Chains A and B, each alone.
Chain A
Amino acid sequence: MAENSVPAPAAGKITLFLLDPIKGSPIQTWDFDSRALIRLGRGVDNDVVIQDPQVSRVHAELQFVLDHWELTNRGRNGTLVAGANIESGRIQSETCFRLGADGPSFRFYDSHRTIDQTATVLNFRIDLNPTIDIDQEKKARDVEDIVESEYFRQLRQSTSRLKSRSALQSPPTR
């Protein structure tokens, strides 16, 4: 069966807006067209150079992967989306992010891709680390109640006997 070849989506044109820290309006703009990797940082060899003590020499990267953009933190002070530190994740058009908790804010705009209004998760790794609390005393009581039941005792005896019988009757290994 012949494969249909579909051209991979192109990175297209994106724009980064540096936002005024008080008003939130754009004060500086960078346009990128058909670029797959964009670096932000204090170092002069970055694509977006920001002279701010909160910003690391290489602080963040925007990378086009398959059919979407991803934002990755590389900075010592972190990169924040909606106030939460991110490691790496998909970024959609009109998303704002910040380099460091008190650093400069940017708005990301992707002219080709609109926001998925049906999404219910942000798709950012914000480092959830669920804690698991087990009430050990209650567990021990619940287990004892079941283990001490007549059914459990008989089950243990029956299965032990049945498994031994099966082991004796099992055919030679294939």
Chain B
Amino acid sequence: MGIVVSVHSFRGGTGKSNVTANLAATIARQGKRVGVVDTDIQSPGIHVLFGLKQQQVKCSLNDFLWGKCPIEEAACDVSDIVCNGAQTNGAAPGLFLIPSSLNAGEIARVLREGFDVSLLHDGFRSLLDGLRLDYLFIDTHPGVNEETLLSIALSDVLLVILRPDNQDYQGTAVTVELARKLDVSQMLLLVNKVPDGTNLGALRENVEAIYQTPVAGILPLNLDVARAASGEIFCLRHPDHPFTQEIDRVAALLLKGGD
């Protein structure tokens, strides 16, 4: 059975979509079949990293939620991004994106109507089974609200991203506690945009002690990634970059948990 990985952060701007896209692509490159669902319906953005334009999207997550199409039809096959030079283990690797609608009217409608718990759960399971996915990443909207709690509740693994910033700490503590109340099987933290000069060992120890949760990775604040401006999946273009190497380590942790 495939694994649902929810990627969440209390605040916006933590690099959640970038990390999600890079992790998903890295794991697909290892020969796995990976899906990414953009449940950030209020401010969809991860499709940009995959180079997906609005005219290429026939069906979106929104259409599925309104019963207009099965969720598999909303899945865009973006496997060609990772296919070149990908290692395979015999099974065809694959990368699929289920985008949210960019139409403002549709965004407003979903915000008014909310998500149906069983519908989203069944949708995730259909994707896992129908596309034979090993991993399904859920890119969530930041903050604690009904939609994000739903994504967290339906996940097997929750990856919470925070920056070493005073605006992130308190809300992350609330999120971690809520995730425990929702009986999420596995929770990991990732500290992103860490300024140069930070004692990384002490930071990891500190974060793990405060949140009583393992730190899967620490990503430095990096001008190269900032300059890429979400125009690409960074790891695919820069395989030897320190950012990519840390993403590789986080991916390896997720893969280990999935075996």
Contacts and interface: CB of A to CB of B under 8 A. Distances in A.
B83 interface: no
Interface of A: 89, 120-135, 138-139, 142-143, 146-147, 151-152, 154-156, 158-160, 162, 166, 170-171, 173
A119 to B, nearest CB: 8
A139 B153 CA distance: 20
A31 to B, nearest CB: 30
Interface in B152-179: 153-154, 164, 166, 169-170, 173-174, 177-178
A147 B121 contact: no
A129 B153 CA distance: 33
A155 B197 contact: no
B174 A139 contact: yes
B149 interface: yes
A130 B193 CA distance: 13
Contacts of A162: 117-118, 121-122, 154
Given A121-B197, A166-B125, 13 more contacts: A121-B196, A128-B195, A129-B198, A130-B206, A134-B169, A134-B210, A135-B170, A139-B173, A146-B144, A155-B153, A156-B181, A158-B118, A160-B183
B108 interface: no
Interface string B183-208: 10000000000011111001100110
Nearest to B117: A158
A140 to B, nearest CB: 8
A159 B1 contact: no
B258 to A, nearest CB: 11
B236 interface: no
> Interface majority SS on B: helix, strand, loop or mixed?
helix
Contact of B149 (A152, A170, A171): A152
Given A132-B206, A143-B174, A143-B177, A155 B118 contact: no
A143 B181 contact: yes
A151 B146 CA distance: 8
A123 B146 contact: no
Given A123-B196, A130-B198, A135-B170, A159 B153 contact: yes
* Most interface-central of A132, A146, A155, A160 (chain B CB within 10 A): A132
B1 A171 contact: yes
B210 to A, nearest CB: 5
B40 to A, nearest CB: 19
A134 B173 CA distance: 7
Given A159-B153, A159-B154, A171-B1, A130 B197 contact: no
19 contacts: A121-B197, A122-B197, A125-B198, A125-B199, A128-B198, A129-B198, A129-B206, A130-B164, A130-B203, A130-B206, A132-B210, A133-B166, A139-B177, A143-B178, A147-B181, A155-B153, A158-B118, A159-B153, A171-B1
A90 B182 CA distance: 46
Contact of B202 (A129, A135, A139, A166): A129
B153 A132 contact: no
Interface in B111-131: 117-118, 121-122, 125, 129
B173 to A, nearest CB: 5
